[in-house]
Amino acid sequence: MNALALATRGLDKSFGSLVVAKDIELKLPQGERYALIGPNGAGKTTLINLMTGMLKPDRGHIFLGEKDITALKPEERVKCGLVRTFQINTLFPHLSALEAVTLTVCERRGYARSWWRKLPAYGDAVEEAHAILVSLRLAASCYRPTRELAYGQQRLLEIALALATKPKVLLLDEPAAGVPQGESAELFSVISDLSRDIAVLFIEHDMNVVFRFAHRIIVMVGGRILVEGTPREIAADVRVRDVYLGGTRHG
Amino acid sequence: MTPFTLSEPQRHLEAQIRWQPVELAFWLATLLPFVFAPNYLVLASQIAITALFALSLDLILGYAGIVSLGHAAYFGFGSYTAGLIAKWGWGEPLTGLAAAAVAAGVLGYATSFIIARFRHLALIMITLGLGLLLAEAANSAGWLTGGADGLQGVRMWKLFGAFQFDLYGTTAYTYSLTILFLAFLLARRLINSPFGLALRGIRENAVRMPAIGAPSPAHIRKIYTIAAVMAGVAGGLLAQTTETVSLETLGFARSADVLVILILGGAGRLYGGLVGAIIYMVARDQFSGINPQYWYFWIGTLLIAVVLFLPNGVLGGLTRLMRLVRSAA
């Protein structure tokens, strides 16, 4: 197994009496594609919120590589290379796709504090942003305001913004949510084509997609990790089948 | 970088921020009062000052999405600073104005730490509270500010040792308009920079900003301080050109007026505050000539009409009209 890109140790979180994460021990090796699955309310998005710093854990630690990032703010974690996308489009409606990605590149390169030179003068940032949009086949509509883009294109822009931060670990929260089934395979082929330097953890409900693109699968139920394994192991696991077919043991 | 080496995406961004002929026309038109309305130069000067104040609010509200109901705090603070310095015997306008800028900037920087932590309704209440606080402090410190009687005894020296602030407002308008233009150039530069793009990012989606590695609070503190400086300069100009400072410069009504002006003209457009100030001030001058006590009736009507029919302000409506005309042609 490769060195770990992201790991959590004993992560706990509850809202009052509702336990949303209990003793989460997650290990994501460098360059791997992991799927995070589980029924609604299992705590998948909560786990992403905890790891990216949008929620504070009650207990436990989060490591990015060797570094303990538990105390860092969300934007500091992004600077370290831990980046997420959102299940519901969380974009900049009146910025063009090019502006939005350029903004992200400028933040990473430290240009965004500069207020004296014009944006087009930062040619390296604009070029890098444009190249990312080209690689995600968004170049043709990159000058249009985000709100005018087709829904599928907006989902791609979600990923483009994340890529522009040069992530080491990418957490994708249902990247194909709301995309018709035919297009979702296309979207995931973009994800599987990503550089192997990036470790990817994605939440997804479509099992065909999960079994096709994930190297390993983590199953969450009721705020806990139920089991982790290869797609073949997960498909054969009785407990997982119980959860998805409405078994009573974990009800 | 020369324009010949720009790539296509760069050229596209460049085209968005290029000076338009209509902008040159606008600034040339600001010189018209000297020729055609020499009796209205005092009003013109007040308009330029209000436009500068509205421009400063536009930087935080229109671009960074920071709603404020207490922006007069910085205007008034600058006003009293400039007024007091002149009253205490240093009547040189430019250094007085610089002092107003610094004072308002310091106040803006200090309060920006609170501002950067809140949004929406909480922000409205906090800015409102800060504004009321300062106005009441000025009211109770009558020994310093003159209280409800206003600050008397402000005497300005000649501008550059040559131009007297006269009754006709020639010097006042020239002075205010020049400062407005310089501040506008600065704001235009700022808005078209990477920092300006980051501000629009905060306005468009404050939740996404940390997820792309952007330190929004730091950006907000910076623009809030810059806007406070600009508001302080506007306040300083009013003190110097009218040679008096009243409590009204700090009042809630001034904060509310400037918000109305910006929304009237179109927030988030550099010229929104400028156009809004012209419409509002000229309308007030005309309407209050007819029946002064009902003046706010007309402003209320105007505001509702604009919000109903021109949700992006007068400028937003004009832009839409231009687009219609162009597509029809």
Which of A83, A90, A91, A87 is CA-nearest to residue A108?
A83
For chain A, how many structural domains are there in total? 1
Res A249 pLDDT > 60: no
Specify if B99 maps to a domain. yes
Q: How many CA atoms lie within 13 A of B161 on its CB side?
A: 0
Res B3 pLDDT > 70: no
pLDDT, one tens digit per residue, over A199-208 is 999 999 888 8
Specify if A128 maps to a domain. no
Q: Does residue B321 contact residue B328 with C-beta atoms inside 8 Å? A: no
Q: Would you tell me which residues 176-215 of chain B have a C-beta closer than 8 angstroms to some C-beta of chain A? A: 189-190, 192-198, 200-201, 204-205, 207-215
Mean pLDDT throughout A137-153? 94
pLDDT, one tens digit per residue, over A61-94 is 999 999 999 999 999 999 999 999 999 999 999 9
The domain that contains B220 carries what CATH number?
Answer: 1.10.3470
Counted across chains A and B, CB pairs separated by less than 8 A come out at: 140
The domain that contains A69 carries what CATH number?
Answer: 3.40.50.300
Q: Chain B contacts of A157, Cβ < 8 Å?
A: none
pLDDT at residue A191, rounded to an integer: 87
Specify if A102 maps to a domain. no
Taking all residues of chain A, what is their mean pLDDT, rounded to a whole number? Answer: 91
- Cβ distance A92 to B219 less than 8 Å, yes or no, reads no
Specify if A42 maps to a domain. yes
Write out the residue range of the structural domain in which residue A18 sits: 4-93+168-244
Query: Is the sign of the CA dihedral B98, B99, B104, B105 positive or negative?
Result: positive
What residues are paired with A224 via a beta bridge?
A: A221
Helix (H, G, I), strand (E, B) or coil at A86: coil
Which of B273, B251, B4 is CA-nearest to residue B137?
B251
Specify if A89 maps to a domain. yes
Mean pLDDT throughout B227-256? 95
Mean pLDDT throughout B179-204? 97
Specify if A138 maps to a domain. no
Q: Chain B contacts of A169, Cβ < 8 Å?
A: none
Calculate the CA dihedral of residues B283, B285, B291, B296 and round it to 10 degrees. 50
Q: Which of A103, A116, A161 lies closest to B198 in CB terms?
A: A103
- A4-15 and A27-29 as β-strands: parallel, antiparallel, unpaired? antiparallel
Q: Which of B7, B204, B218 lies closest to A94 in CB terms?
A: B204
Specify if A109 maps to a domain. no
Specify if A26 maps to a domain. yes
pLDDT band at A172 (very low <50, low <70, confident <90, very high): very high
Write out the residue range of the structural domain in which residue B175 sits: 39-328
Contacts (Cβ under 8 Å, ≥6 apart) of B141: B147
Specify if B59 maps to a domain. yes
For chain B, how many structural domains are there in total? 1
Q: Which of A52, A98, A118 lies closest to B17 in CB terms?
A: A118
Could you give the CA distance from residue B218 to residue B30 in angstroms, rounded to a whole number?
36
Q: Where are the beta strands (DSSP E) in A165-204?
A: 169-173, 199-203
Specify if A238 maps to a domain. yes
Specify if B18 maps to a domain. no
Specify if B31 maps to a domain. no
Mean pLDDT throughout B17-24? 92
Residue B326, min C-alpha distance to chain A (Å): 19
pLDDT at residue B285, rounded to an integer: 87
Place of tokens 């009785």: A238
Query: For chain A, what percent of residues have pLDDT higher than 90?
Result: 75
Specify if B4 maps to a domain. no
pLDDT band at B164 (very low <50, low <70, confident <90, very high): confident
